[in-house]
Amino acid sequence: MINNETMKSILARRSYKMFDGRPIDDESLDTIITAGLYAPTGMNSQPWHFTVIRSPEMLEKVGAARRALPTPPGVPAAGDPMRNAPVMIVVSARDTLTAYEDSCLAMENMFIAAASLGIMSGWDHATVRALFKEGSDLKKELIPEGYTVYAAAFFGYPGPNVKDRGERKGTVEYI
Protein backbone atom coordinates (compact mmCIF):
# COMPACT_ATOMS: atom_id res chain seq x y z
CA MET A 1 0.00 0.00 0.00
CA ILE A 2 1.21 3.50 -0.82
CA ASN A 3 0.89 5.48 2.37
CA ASN A 4 0.53 9.01 0.98
CA GLU A 5 -1.19 11.93 2.74
CA THR A 6 -4.64 11.00 1.40
CA MET A 7 -4.27 7.39 2.55
CA LYS A 8 -3.08 8.58 5.96
CA SER A 9 -6.28 10.62 6.34
CA ILE A 10 -8.50 7.75 5.18
CA LEU A 11 -6.87 5.38 7.64
CA ALA A 12 -6.90 7.93 10.48
CA ARG A 13 -10.65 8.57 10.24
CA ARG A 14 -12.65 7.01 13.06
CA SER A 15 -16.22 7.36 14.22
CA TYR A 16 -16.26 9.11 17.57
CA LYS A 17 -18.92 8.84 20.23
CA MET A 18 -17.56 11.77 22.22
CA PHE A 19 -15.69 14.96 21.34
CA ASP A 20 -13.72 17.35 23.53
CA GLY A 21 -16.00 20.31 22.84
CA ARG A 22 -13.33 22.58 21.29
CA PRO A 23 -14.78 24.72 18.45
CA ILE A 24 -13.80 24.12 14.82
CA ASP A 25 -12.40 27.29 13.24
CA ASP A 26 -13.94 28.79 10.09
CA GLU A 27 -11.12 27.81 7.74
CA SER A 28 -11.20 24.17 8.85
CA LEU A 29 -14.98 24.06 8.55
CA ASP A 30 -14.81 25.66 5.11
CA THR A 31 -12.24 23.02 4.08
CA ILE A 32 -14.53 20.22 5.26
CA ILE A 33 -17.56 21.67 3.46
CA THR A 34 -15.58 22.21 0.26
CA ALA A 35 -14.58 18.53 0.30
CA GLY A 36 -18.27 17.64 0.54
CA LEU A 37 -19.18 19.92 -2.33
CA TYR A 38 -16.58 18.28 -4.56
CA ALA A 39 -17.97 14.76 -4.13
CA PRO A 40 -19.33 13.18 -7.30
CA THR A 41 -23.08 13.36 -7.97
CA GLY A 42 -25.27 11.46 -10.41
CA MET A 43 -25.42 13.39 -13.69
CA ASN A 44 -23.61 16.21 -11.86
CA SER A 45 -26.96 17.04 -10.29
CA GLN A 46 -25.45 18.46 -7.06
CA PRO A 47 -28.86 18.00 -5.44
CA TRP A 48 -27.82 18.59 -1.86
CA HIS A 49 -28.06 21.24 0.79
CA PHE A 50 -25.62 21.22 3.72
CA THR A 51 -27.02 22.50 7.01
CA VAL A 52 -24.06 23.31 9.25
CA ILE A 53 -25.27 23.66 12.83
CA ARG A 54 -22.72 25.34 15.06
CA SER A 55 -24.52 28.04 17.01
CA PRO A 56 -24.60 26.92 20.67
CA GLU A 57 -28.27 27.92 20.85
CA MET A 58 -29.25 25.75 17.88
CA LEU A 59 -27.05 22.86 19.05
CA GLU A 60 -28.83 23.06 22.39
CA LYS A 61 -32.22 23.08 20.66
CA VAL A 62 -31.32 20.09 18.47
CA GLY A 63 -29.82 18.40 21.55
CA ALA A 64 -33.05 18.76 23.51
CA ALA A 65 -34.99 17.11 20.68
CA ARG A 66 -32.28 14.48 20.22
CA ARG A 67 -32.28 13.58 23.92
CA ALA A 68 -36.04 13.16 23.85
CA LEU A 69 -35.79 10.42 21.20
CA PRO A 70 -36.13 6.86 22.47
CA THR A 71 -32.95 4.76 22.30
CA PRO A 72 -33.41 2.13 19.57
CA PRO A 73 -33.51 -1.48 20.78
CA GLY A 74 -30.06 -3.06 21.00
CA VAL A 75 -28.23 0.27 21.13
CA PRO A 76 -26.56 1.02 24.48
CA ALA A 77 -27.62 4.42 25.83
CA ALA A 78 -24.13 5.81 26.39
CA GLY A 79 -23.69 9.41 27.47
CA ASP A 80 -25.04 12.51 25.80
CA PRO A 81 -26.32 11.76 22.29
CA MET A 82 -25.02 15.18 21.12
CA ARG A 83 -21.53 13.86 21.99
CA ASN A 84 -20.19 17.25 23.14
CA ALA A 85 -19.66 18.09 19.46
CA PRO A 86 -19.24 21.72 18.35
CA VAL A 87 -20.66 21.07 14.87
CA MET A 88 -23.35 18.93 13.34
CA ILE A 89 -23.71 18.71 9.56
CA VAL A 90 -26.97 17.55 8.04
CA VAL A 91 -27.04 16.71 4.33
CA SER A 92 -30.40 16.87 2.64
CA ALA A 93 -31.17 16.65 -1.04
CA ARG A 94 -33.78 17.32 -3.69
CA ASP A 95 -35.68 14.33 -5.01
CA THR A 96 -33.32 13.05 -7.70
CA LEU A 97 -32.45 9.57 -8.94
CA THR A 98 -29.24 9.48 -6.90
CA ALA A 99 -30.02 11.79 -3.97
CA TYR A 100 -29.18 9.17 -1.33
CA GLU A 101 -25.88 8.13 -2.86
CA ASP A 102 -24.88 11.73 -3.56
CA SER A 103 -25.57 12.72 0.06
CA CYS A 104 -23.58 9.83 1.53
CA LEU A 105 -20.63 10.40 -0.77
CA ALA A 106 -20.56 14.06 0.22
CA MET A 107 -20.57 13.08 3.88
CA GLU A 108 -17.72 10.61 3.44
CA ASN A 109 -15.65 13.25 1.63
CA MET A 110 -16.23 15.51 4.64
CA PHE A 111 -15.24 12.76 7.07
CA ILE A 112 -11.92 12.26 5.30
CA ALA A 113 -11.17 15.97 4.88
CA ALA A 114 -11.92 16.42 8.58
CA ALA A 115 -9.60 13.55 9.51
CA SER A 116 -6.83 15.22 7.50
CA LEU A 117 -7.16 18.17 9.92
CA GLY A 118 -7.26 16.04 13.07
CA ILE A 119 -11.03 16.53 13.32
CA MET A 120 -13.10 13.40 13.81
CA SER A 121 -16.70 12.65 13.00
CA GLY A 122 -19.58 10.39 13.88
CA TRP A 123 -22.67 9.48 11.90
CA ASP A 124 -25.91 9.80 13.84
CA HIS A 125 -28.53 7.58 12.36
CA ALA A 126 -31.28 8.64 14.74
CA THR A 127 -30.90 12.19 13.46
CA VAL A 128 -31.47 11.05 9.90
CA ARG A 129 -34.33 8.72 10.65
CA ALA A 130 -36.21 10.43 13.48
CA LEU A 131 -35.06 13.95 14.29
CA PHE A 132 -35.41 15.35 10.78
CA LYS A 133 -38.15 13.08 9.57
CA GLU A 134 -40.84 14.47 7.27
CA GLY A 135 -43.09 16.87 9.15
CA SER A 136 -40.86 17.30 12.24
CA ASP A 137 -40.52 20.82 13.67
CA LEU A 138 -36.73 20.78 13.28
CA LYS A 139 -36.97 19.73 9.65
CA LYS A 140 -39.41 22.55 8.96
CA GLU A 141 -37.11 25.03 10.68
CA LEU A 142 -33.72 23.95 9.32
CA ILE A 143 -34.12 22.02 6.06
CA PRO A 144 -35.30 23.60 2.80
CA GLU A 145 -38.78 22.75 1.57
CA GLY A 146 -38.82 19.68 -0.68
CA TYR A 147 -35.50 18.30 0.58
CA THR A 148 -35.06 14.94 2.34
CA VAL A 149 -32.39 14.36 5.00
CA TYR A 150 -30.07 11.50 4.02
CA ALA A 151 -27.00 11.96 6.20
CA ALA A 152 -26.19 13.60 9.51
CA ALA A 153 -23.01 13.58 11.53
CA PHE A 154 -21.17 15.28 14.36
CA PHE A 155 -17.72 16.78 13.89
CA GLY A 156 -15.20 17.76 16.53
CA TYR A 157 -11.82 17.20 18.07
CA PRO A 158 -11.53 13.70 19.49
CA GLY A 159 -12.66 12.89 22.96
CA PRO A 160 -12.11 9.41 24.34
CA ASN A 161 -12.79 6.64 21.83
CA VAL A 162 -13.48 3.50 23.78
CA LYS A 163 -13.23 0.97 21.00
CA ASP A 164 -10.87 1.04 18.00
CA ARG A 165 -12.68 -0.58 15.11
CA GLY A 166 -9.74 -0.09 12.78
CA GLU A 167 -9.23 -3.60 11.54
CA ARG A 168 -10.80 -4.63 8.21
CA LYS A 169 -10.58 -8.22 7.04
CA GLY A 170 -12.06 -10.92 4.88
CA THR A 171 -14.18 -8.90 2.45
CA VAL A 172 -12.01 -8.51 -0.64
CA GLU A 173 -11.64 -10.92 -3.53
CA TYR A 174 -9.41 -10.32 -6.52
CA ILE A 175 -10.67 -12.18 -9.61
Q: Which residues bind ligand FMN (CB under 6 A)?
A: 14-15, 17, 122-126, 165
Cβ proximity to ligand FMN: between 30 and 111 the closer is 111
The Cα 63–Cα 146 span in angstroms is 24
What 3-state DSSP class applies to 119? coil
- State the minimum distance, in angstroms, from the CB of residue 108 to ligand FMN: 9
Min separation Cβ 175 and ligand FMN, Å = 26
Furthest-apart CA pair in the chain: how many Å? 53
Q: Which is nearer to ligand FMN, 17 or 139 (CB)?
A: 17
Shortest approach of ligand FMN to residue 61 CB, angstroms? 20
Minimum separation from the CB atom of position 72 to ligand FMN (A): 8
User: In the complex with ligand FMN, which residue's Cβ is closer, 4 or 163?
Assistant: 163
Q: In what order do the strands lie in the sheet with 87-93?
A: 48-53, 87-93, 148-156, 120-123
**Choice between 34 and 71, CB closer to ligand FMN:** 71
- Least distance from ligand FMN to the Cβ atom of residue 143, Å: 19
Assess contact for 117 and 31: CB atoms under 8 A: yes
Among 113, 138, 115, residue whose Cα is nearest residue 128:
138
CA 84 vs. chain centroid, Å, equals 14
In this structure, the chain runs to a length of 175
Question: What's the CA gap between 158 and 22, in Å, rounded?
Answer: 9
- Choose between 86 and 122: whose C-beta lies nearer to ligand FMN: 122
